[in-house]
Structure 1
Amino acid sequence: MNLGRRLPDASRETALVVGLVSGSHVINHLYLVLFPPVLTTLAADFEVGLSALGFAMGLQAFVNTALQLPYGYLSDNYDRTLTLGLCLGLGAVGAAILALAPTFEWLLVGQVVLGVGIAGHHPAHFPLLSDATAEDVRGQAYSVHGFAGNLGFAAPPVVILGVTALSGTSWRHAFGLIAAVGAIYGVAACYVLWRHVDDEVTRPNLGEAAGDDDRASASSRIERALAELRALARAPSILALGVVALIASTAFWGITSYVAVLLEDGYGVAPDLASLTLTAMFVAGAGLILVGGTLADRFRPGPILAGAYVLVGLAVLLLASMTVPPLLAVPVAVLAGSAGSLGGPARDKLADVLSTRTDIGRNFAVLTIGIMVGNTVAPPLFGALIESTGYSEAFGLVGAVALLAAVATVGIVARYREEIALGPSASSGD
């Protein structure tokens, strides 16, 4: 279908898919940042330190990471609506367990279940977006998706503060409210996709050799799983992009997890303002994602992505210097946490042009593995560093990691410039 050069000119079905998938992104990102706004409260309630809570956040990310390829396989070979439904349903169950957790051990159980749910969102989202949009506006579709995700990141501090301001409520009520909203949305989104979106979008792009008989055979499923791994090994450009995502995500989650406590304990910012700085970061990032989507459709994505990481690194290093006046520390923190969003659509566009249509779920799963490995490593690593060496050293390392992501991006774009220029036809397939 011909959508023209502007996403608002898209068909009703395209608008529906972009809207539903973006809404799912909001819900999943709500789940990802439940802890950072209430870290000090959780530490007091469960009588644990920042390193233990960092382990809990990292555990969720580890489970998320481990299930990326299985969800990618499910999305590429079976059904994207099913993938999305599992993602949203299990995520809601995990958030509900967190809301009810009587002990720290149950908090860990909730994080595991939450990780199982969240793991499916990128492997379901990106194939749906890719098949529902034309290539010349796909960067804009990815930017709308990213914009929605940043709104999801921004919402927990506002929701938690709003709910806990009511008499007789706590963070548990806020978590429970978020779980209920996620469950209701999951049911509604899957129903609409099932009834109102064409199977060409919700079903996988299987090659001619992959028919229903193949999918029904257990031995064939094993062979296809092995073929997926062999194909992945033949796609070094995607693996390299996954490494960039890992490096950048380590910096991003270092900022996201601990910037509120840095502002509160290191700069003397009031606790409520420090928590709301997270919201400001993601709101600003949401706007930058939209700008980044337009840039990704008009210019080469590599320089956009590298430039965004440089901005993040410089802003974090400025914060780490501990020389910024407290009044300016908040806007600098907002820049540090939002500038990377400018490169999000460019990164997704790179992954898209390095993919064929039959492997896009798997390839975005690889990208998400990189993101989630960073999420796994960053909270326990930087939490332990803060407790052992202090905020300046820990955030200095965060800034250095962000700059490393910029250098790695430049190297990868240079190495695979011909493949990027030729697009999907030059990419490795199954």
Structure 2
Amino acid sequence: MSPTILQSPRSVPLQQDATIMGLVGLAHASSHFAHLLLAPLFPVFMTEFGLSYAELGLLMSTFFVVSGLGQATSGFVVDRLGARPMLFVALGIFVLACVAASRVTGYAGLVGVAALAGLGNATFHPVDFTILSQRVSHPRLGHAFSVHGLTGYLGWAAAPVFLVTLSGLYNWRTAYLAAAVMYVGILLLLILQRDKLSTQVAVQHEGVAAEHSMAFMKLPVVWWCFAFFLFSTMTLAVVQSFSVSILKAMHGVSFEAATLTLSAYMVCGAVGTFVGGFIAGRTANSDRVVAASMAVAAVLLALCGTGLLGAVGTMVVLAGTGFAVGIGGPSRDMMIKNATPKGATGRVYGLVYSGLDTGFALSPFVFGVFMDRGWYGATLFGAAAVLLLSVVAALGVGRRTAAAIAPARQQV
């Protein structure tokens, strides 16, 4: 017997939906801020602690290994206990991670911060999509996914500016304490608005076999979704972790200008996600939108890798790559939703989005070796090639989802 899932009404006030989107979006932005809790200050850590690119890449790998393992299992917890308590716990862990970051004295401390922040990040996607799927009316889900993706990009964009600016004005330890205060404020706001974040748990009735809750893992389409996130986020990890260093090495761009380019990439991604929300709401074949946007982004990234565009041209095109990826974001979430069995939202999103964590974990470690050898252009070419693999995965998801829907349509 399938778990009971709360269904959103067909028509609810816009203000109610918008409030829920905004609260979930704020939480999502905070989790993406945590993705870049360490990376923007890599140059500082290299100087202060004498670290290599490979060691820095391992920090990101630590974050996403912990997050991925936690995310793959947290979906079950969210389905059983509800999304709201898991959200509050995660934000509390982020506060602890920021305080710990302000006090580190070496590489071991940074590894500990990465692991703690990764643990906090583990529950966010199952939490977010469970709340959105249950609390937002179905006709506005495309826009809800757009807002969700957009706020994620804004969180990524804010982290480098926030941390680098405060580090320049004060010092990097003070910047992390300020980040801790920010997370406390977000947690307090969500607690005050907690009635809008409640979800109905999935109840397993007596006699239901334990393996029933694992049945979704036998569906090939779920693993195609996992593969899509694995490949697409390996590319994103390169941009987040190494784009600043690549711009400095290939074109002599200043640290501040390179950091602003990374933020511009995220802002362009947010704009693309906003536009993509309208596309997702009007396009039936979400997989094709995703595949097209990722293919364009791969071409742009490869152009940056040639080094022929010059400093300004590379910065502009790299930022434009974010727009292309952002266009496919809402359609990507619709693609996953369409492939999700009824009553398994938390579990499926937990497993599928652990592919995101796996990609983030593998990529900095692999491409950190490229960076240590001075293969800056090859790093971008490699990222573009991996992004093309995500195109194949997206089309694979679409084919298998369509194959699963076709028999049901024939019976109607």
Q: Would you say same fold, with TM above 0.5? A: yes
Distance 2:70 2:298 in 1: 30
Moved more, 14-23 or 113-122: 14-23
Any unmatched runs of 5+ in structure 1? 215-219
Give the match for residue 273 of structure 2. Answer: 289
Distance 2:61 2:323 in 1: 22
Give the match for residue 206 of structure 1. Answer: 203
User: Residue 349 of structure 1 is aligned with which of 306, 312, 334?
Assistant: 334
User: Residue 21 of structure 2 is aligned with which of 6, 18, 23?
Assistant: 18
- Is it true that 1:264 corresponds to 2:261 in the alignment? no
Spell out, residue by residue over 1:117-171, the C-alpha distance to the aligned partner (whole angstroms, 9 max, x if none): 01111111100001111222211101101111111000012112331332xx212
Distance 1:330 1:39 in 2: 20
- Is it true that 1:64 corresponds to 2:95 in the alignment? no
Any unmatched runs of 5+ in structure 2? 1-8
Give the match for residue 148 of structure 2. Answer: 145
Give the match for residue 3 of structure 2. Answer: none
Answer whether contact 2:61 2:360 (CA < 8 A) is retained. Answer: yes
Give the match for residue 375 of structure 1. Answer: 360
Give the match for residue 4 of structure 2. Answer: none
User: Residue 110 of structure 1 is aligned with which of 90, 110, 113?
Assistant: 113
Give the match for residue 11 of structure 2. Answer: 3
- Is it true that 1:279 corresponds to 2:228 in the alignment? no
Partner amino acid for 1:3?
Answer: S
Answer whether contact 2:135 2:199 (CA < 8 A) is retained. Answer: no
Moved more, 184-193 or 278-287: 184-193
Cα offset for 1:241?
A: 0.8
Equivalenced residues, count = 401
Spell out, residue by residue over 1:19-51, the C-alpha distance to the aligned partner (whole angstroms, 9 max, x if none): 111111111111101233221111111111111
Cα offset for 1:420?
A: 5.5
1:422–1:323 CA distance, 2 compared to 1 (3 A): farther
Distance 1:228 1:46 in 2: 46
Answer whether contact 2:216 2:341 (CA < 8 A) is retained. Answer: no
Cα offset for 1:228?
A: 2.9
Spell out, residue by residue over 1:192-217, the C-alpha distance to the aligned partner (whole angstroms, 9 max, x if none): 21xx338xx5232436x26xxx9xxx
Cα offset for 1:233?
A: 2.5
Distance 2:399 2:338 in 1: 15
Give the match for residue 358 of structure 1. Answer: 343
Answer whether contact 1:139 1:297 (CA < 8 A) is retained. Answer: yes
Give the match for residue 171 of structure 2. Answer: 170
Partner amino acid for 1:119?
Answer: A
Answer whether contact 2:99 2:177 (CA < 8 A) is retained. Answer: yes
Equivalences for residues 381-392 of structure 1 within 5 A: 381-388=366-373, 390-392=375-377
Q: Percent identity?
A: 24
Distance 2:372 2:322 in 1: 22
Spell out, residue by residue over 1:348-383, the C-alpha distance to the aligned partner (whole angstroms, 9 max, x if none): 101112223410011111221111100000111111
Distance 2:371 2:344 in 1: 40
Give the match for residue 234 of structure 1. Answer: 218
1:339–1:421 CA distance, 2 compared to 1 (3 A): farther
Answer whether contact 2:294 2:324 (CA < 8 A) is retained. Answer: yes
Give the match for residue 380 of structure 2. Answer: 395
Distance 1:99 1:232 in 2: 42
Distance 2:127 2:406 in 1: 26
Answer whether contact 2:10 2:138 (CA < 8 A) is retained. Answer: no
Partner amino acid for 2:221?
Answer: S
- Is it true that 1:192 corresponds to 2:200 in the alignment? no
Give the match for residue 232 of structure 2. Answer: 248
User: Residue 307 of structure 1 is aligned with which of 271, 292, 304?
Assistant: 292
Spell out, residue by residue over 1:261-306, the C-alpha distance to the aligned partner (whole angstroms, 9 max, x if none): 1111111112101011111111111111111111111012111100
1:423–1:85 CA distance, 2 compared to 1 (3 A): farther
Partner amino acid for 1:182?
Answer: Y
Alignment TM-score, normalising by the size of structure 2 = 0.92
1:257–1:3 CA distance, 2 compared to 1 (3 A): farther
Distance 2:248 2:258 in 1: 6
Partner amino acid for 1:53?
Answer: L
User: Residue 122 of structure 1 is aligned with which of 120, 125, 129?
Assistant: 125
Equivalences for residues 18-37 of structure 1 within 5 A: 18-37=21-40
SS at match of 2:102: helix
1:111–1:421 CA distance, 2 compared to 1 (3 A): farther
Answer whether contact 1:313 1:399 (CA < 8 A) is retained. Answer: yes
Partner amino acid for 2:191?
Answer: C
- Is it true that 1:415 corresponds to 2:412 in the alignment? no
Equivalences for residues 216-235 of structure 1 within 5 A: 224=210, 226-229=211-214, 231-235=215-219
